[in-house]
Structure 1
Amino acid sequence: MSDREAAVRRLIADVWNGANEATAYELISPDCPGLGASGPVGVLAWHHERRASFPDLRYKVVDLIVSADRAAVHWRAAGTQTGQFGPVPPTGTLVSYSGATFLRFDPEGLISDIWSVNELFQLLQQLGVEMLPPA
């Protein structure tokens, strides 16, 4: 396993799944964009917000590809909504959805960019949100 693959797997286990958030300070560059701030603080802020809605949310790696200074992860996530999620009040519903995350590493091997896409529409449908087109 390469150093970059190990870093991505640690990010998911420790930061995304909340096992050891201090790992963010070891793996993430201070310049990495995040929620309201750069670096580990901004990346952790996004995960804190998501875990406030889904405290038991856990990610599983489906596929991971690492090449030079980039990585791509196909993942699945599942968790129970016990907190507010945007405008959606707590439902107690277990949701499962998937997505892909793309990461870039700086020359020192720190994660300098994280960009994700996911099945948010599917997640909202599972929470009972009705999506109607404009009239």
Structure 2
Amino acid sequence: MDHAATMRSTYELINAGDLDRFGDLLAADFVEHQGGPGYPPTREGTLDFFRNLLAAFPDWHMAVQDMIASGDKTVARVRVSGTQSGEFIGIPATGASADVELIDIMRFDPAGLVCEHWGVADMLSLMQQLGVVPAGAST
């Protein structure tokens, strides 16, 4: 199975706003280890998170920069961008654009579905770009 192609498809489907087909790539017993605040670490919780994320950032785009696959896991470095035009994790719409990097790790079950996800996003940079947290002094 080509886990890298499946992982790439998850980003393409999210970019297209096709969360039903994105959800089809997640195992029924999917576990989210990163998760958004207030969302259960399940398949449905993850879909709800992305529904709310895309409502807040309708132009959200995920671009794969690097990808490494080994065994049942695939790792990607991804650049995400979008403009916040709706509420996001309790933050009212700012109209600000953001561009940040994240690292994702997905584990696949024997059927080729994503069964676990771990991720690290540059949330400080995101909050600074949205104007919620002041940017540090330049050096």
Pairwise CA RMSD of aligned residues? Answer: 1.9
CA contact (8 A) 1:10 1:23 kept: no
Q: Which has the higher strand share?
A: 2
- What SS does the corresponding residue of 1:107 show, helix, strand or coil? coil
1:29 matched to which residue of 2? 27
Q: Which runs of 5+ in 1 are unaligned?
A: none
Q: Which residue of 2 aligns with 1:13?
A: 12
**C-alpha distance after superposition, 1:86-121 (max 9, x if no partner):** 232211111110110110011221110011111110
Identity %: 31
TM-score norm. by structure 1 comes to 0.85
Deviation string 1:42-62 (CA, Å, 9 cap, x unpaired) is: 321111121122111100000
Instruction: Please state whether the residue corresponding to 1:32 is helix, strand or coil.
Output: strand
Shift of the 25–90 alpha-carbon distance from structure 1 to 2, 3 Å rule, reads closer
CA distance in 1, matches of 2:26, 2:90: 30
Q: CA deviation at 1:127?
A: 1.1
Q: What secondary structure is seen at the aligned counterpart in 2 of 1:33?
A: strand
Q: Within 5 A, what are the aligned runs for 1:1-135?
A: 3-14=2-13, 16-34=14-32, 35-36=39-40, 38-39=42-43, 41-130=44-133
TM-score (structure 2 length as normaliser):
0.83
**Segments of 4+ moved more than 6 angstroms:** none
* Higher relative contact order, structure no. (Cα contacts within 8 Å, ≥ 6 residues apart): 2
> Quick one: distance in 2 between partners of 1:115 and 1:60?
18
Checking the alignment, whether the CA contact within 8 Å between 1:29 and 1:110 is kept in structure 2 is yes
Structure 2: any 5+ residue segments left out of the alignment?
A: 33-38, 135-139
- The Cα shift of 1:63 comes to 0.4
Q: Equivalents in 1 of 2:17, 2:102: separation in Å? A: 21
